[in-house]
Structure 1
Amino acid sequence: IFNTLSANSSLRLSVFNSIVDLAVASDDMDLVLPQLQYVSSWVSEWGVNIQAERDLLLTLSDRLKKTGNPYQSNEFLLKYLNTFNSQTAELDSQKDHAKRAIVESIALPEVLNFENLLKVDAIQHIKSEKAYELLSVFMNGNVQDYRALTAKYSGLVQELELNEEEALRKIRLLSLASLGSENLSRELSYHEIAKALEVDEAEVELWVIDVIRAGLVEAKLNQVSRVVVISRSIYRTFGQPQWQQLSQRLNGWKQSLQEILQVIANAKLTSAAVSTAVITN
């Protein structure tokens, strides 16, 4: 029925909703997943109003969560929240959904970048919430910041229904990535890393391997010297401090290049002088 309707028919919306409900009921949501990439363009073609679009996006998020597709569910939840902006009167009514988006993003093991959440007005609207404070730690903080916040709000992790072990693992990975970005190409001792992550030195190699596997850094381990050299690391955020750091590195490279060029120039002068002396003799 869906394909027999014209591409811009608003009836396609109700038919698509029925298809999704049927897929959920028959445990065949996998058949629908490949089509979800077209939802945004379909909504535009159907010409439905904003409320109908919101209902669809939120329904998809809920159905995807129910059928064990948490990443896609989170994606559609954020799309839903993005239909509200700072001028939207309904922002107050979206606090629970905004909090859910934060919690689910923190809970998903492969979500390691949170900058897109900060661009969502509905999430910015709940800055006074504890969930937002926790998001800020995962954006910019380290293990010590995480410990401080969870000590400040006793039972916070349980209140947000997060897995303590998984949350701590993620903040350790992110902390190690930040440590790497601040110390590129410098030898980091096992002791420094263990202290930053609050783990035993015997665990450092496993954490370095994990952060490499997560794609957050590129690094080499020296088991004899017990040091790690990180050659590349992601920036969890890229703001003014990161621009300043980049500027300092560029200036450092510029200075090093100038020194190399000076050495080459001096070598050429010396070579020319020697050649002249040989010819004269």
Structure 2
Amino acid sequence: MTSHPVFIDLSLDEQVQELRKYFKKLGAEISSEKSNKGVEDDLHKIIGVCDVCFKDGEPSQIDGILNSIVSIMITIPLDRGENIVLAYCEKMTKAPNQPLGKVCLQSLWRLFNNLDTASPLRYHVYYHLVQVAKQCEQVLEVFTGVDQLKTQFTNCPPSSEQMQKLYRLLHDVTKDTNMELSSKVMIELLGTYTADNACVAREDAMKCIVTALADPNTFLLDPLLALKPVRFLEGDLIHDLLSIFVSDKLPSYVQFYEDHKEFVNSQGLNHEQNMKKMRLLTFMQLAESNPEMTFDTLTKELQITEDEVEPFVIQVLKTKLVRARLDQANRKVHISSTMHRTFGAPQWQQLRGLLQAWKENLSSVRDGLTNVSSAQLDLARTQKLIN
């Protein structure tokens, strides 16, 4: 982020005086004289009118003015700076257009990075950063993933309630542009609840399920069933729908939709997208136990025409969830491997068996190499005796 200092070469008192004069000149209701209560009172009054510069100023000039305010703000002791910082953050969310929004975003980043990493105020600044980033369509500039987010607060982790509030905001600002990231945020949010308070997370749990179902790139859904807030939804329609996407085939979804069309639509889910996803999940499930499938089987199980089989399989292969080969001549699909829809005890057992087989094969190879080595040594000794 770039800086445009305006009054920073002046002393603290002089900076305050010049800022007062500047804003008064712009027509703000503020005295040009310093407060006799100290710099904190000056900052409160300056911040209270600082948005007046949004009306006519150039972005680069405004950036310099805001930079001057930040340079004073970071000198205020932590125990007396919370209200000042919060007031400034609120003002930065009032930018009237995108260019000025970017200026405000830069200013908040500057403030965030200049606060001590152990300061609890960093959380409040970051929360407003995300709000401003949404306004100027710069969310990925401030948030790229949950792991990156956590590193921002290593030295002063926010409370569970604060993180829940932040995760809800991040879900809201990413749901329309990055559904995969939004889904991960919601899963992280549900992970912050314990058995004691999971019952109050009903709305968050429903949002999490809907986001995951709607995400065209999320296919492994059974981990959601283990989340405590999701368990509290057992018996509800949304939990029934999730269970279908976790382990049932396409006909189960079709029947559910016929019985509960209004519910599915009310959740903001698209039926055609659901059908597309369920076809893919059904294909994955069939591929687990059928290394070879005929076109007739696919048209029946997936409720598509024979002409649609080849384009469908090509789409499946693009997801890299399944490795397969089309055999148009014999109207078959040959499966090499597939990702499991669910990964429970049977899959762990299968993996255990596979690893055990590998271990036995490696032991056989090792024994074979040992025998070959021994034979070579014996042959060498024999040749030496002969010579």
TM-score normalised to the size of structure 2?
Answer: 0.59
Contact 2:143 2:149 in 1 (8 A): no
Q: Which amino acid in structure 2 is aligned with residue 130 of structure 1?
A: L
| Residue of structure 2 equivalent to 1:231 | 336
How far the C-alpha of 1:247 sits from its partner, in A, is 8.1
Structure 1 Cα separation of the partners of residues 115 and 178 of structure 2: 29
Post-superposition Cα deviations, 1:108-148, rounded to whole Å, max 9, x if no partner, equal 11111113312311111111111111111111011111122
| Residue of structure 1 equivalent to 2:134 | 24
Structure 2 Cα separation of the partners of residues 36 and 56 of structure 1: 11
| Residue of structure 2 equivalent to 1:277 | none
Contact 2:145 2:181 in 1 (8 A): no
| Residue of structure 1 equivalent to 2:218 | 111
| Residue of structure 1 equivalent to 2:244 | 137
Q: CA RMSD in A?
A: 2.5
| Residue of structure 1 equivalent to 2:15 | none
| Residue of structure 1 equivalent to 2:294 | 189
Contact 1:43 1:53 in 2 (8 A): no
| Residue of structure 2 equivalent to 1:47 | 157
Q: Which amino acid in structure 2 is aligned with residue 196 of structure 1?
A: E
- Note if 1:164 corresponds to 2:274: no
Post-superposition Cα deviations, 1:245-274, rounded to whole Å, max 9, x if no partner, equal 6789899x89xx9xxxxxxxxxxxxxxxxx
Name which of 157, 166, 186 aligns with 1:77: 186
How far the C-alpha of 1:244 sits from its partner, in A, is 6.2
Secondary structure in 1 matching 2:223: helix
| Residue of structure 1 equivalent to 2:122 | 12
Structure 2 Cα separation of the partners of residues 167 and 177 of structure 1: 15
Post-superposition Cα deviations, 1:36-57, rounded to whole Å, max 9, x if no partner, equal 6422233342133221222222
How far the C-alpha of 1:234 sits from its partner, in A, is 1.0
**Higher CA-based Rg:** 2
| Residue of structure 2 equivalent to 1:211 | 316
Q: Which amino acid in structure 2 is aligned with residue 71 of structure 1?
A: E
How far the C-alpha of 1:64 sits from its partner, in A, is 2.5
- Note if 1:98 corresponds to 2:205: yes
What is the total number of aligned residue pairs between the two structures?
249
Secondary structure in 2 matching 1:117: helix
Contact 1:57 1:76 in 2 (8 A): yes
User: Per the alignment, do residues 36 and 137 of structure 1 end up closer, same or farther by CA in structure 2, a change over 3 Å counting?
Assistant: closer
Structure 1 Cα separation of the partners of residues 202 and 295 of structure 2: 42
Q: Which amino acid in structure 2 is aligned with residue 183 of structure 1?
A: N
Structure 1 Cα separation of the partners of residues 185 and 269 of structure 2: 20
| Residue of structure 1 equivalent to 2:255 | 148
The 5 A counterparts of 1:262-277 are none
TM-score normalised to the size of structure 1?
Answer: 0.80
Deviates further, 233-242 or 214-223: 233-242
Secondary structure in 2 matching 1:3: helix
User: Per the alignment, do residues 47 and 224 of structure 1 end up closer, same or farther by CA in structure 2, a change over 3 Å counting?
Assistant: closer
Q: Which amino acid in structure 2 is aligned with residue 80 of structure 1?
A: L
Post-superposition Cα deviations, 1:58-92, rounded to whole Å, max 9, x if no partner, equal 222222236x233222222221111102232xx33
How far the C-alpha of 1:228 sits from its partner, in A, is 0.9
- Which ranges of 4 or more aligned residues in structure 1 deviate by more than 4 Å? 243-251
User: Per the alignment, do residues 243 and 153 of structure 1 end up closer, same or farther by CA in structure 2, a change over 3 Å counting?
Assistant: same
Q: Which amino acid in structure 1 is aligned with residue 142 of structure 2?
A: V
Uncovered stretches (5+) of structure 2, i.e. residues with no partner: 1-110, 362-387
- Note if 1:128 corresponds to 2:235: yes
User: Per the alignment, do residues 152 and 246 of structure 1 end up closer, same or farther by CA in structure 2, a change over 3 Å counting?
Assistant: farther
Structure 1 Cα separation of the partners of residues 162 and 260 of structure 2: 38
Structure 1 Cα separation of the partners of residues 355 and 156 of structure 2: 50
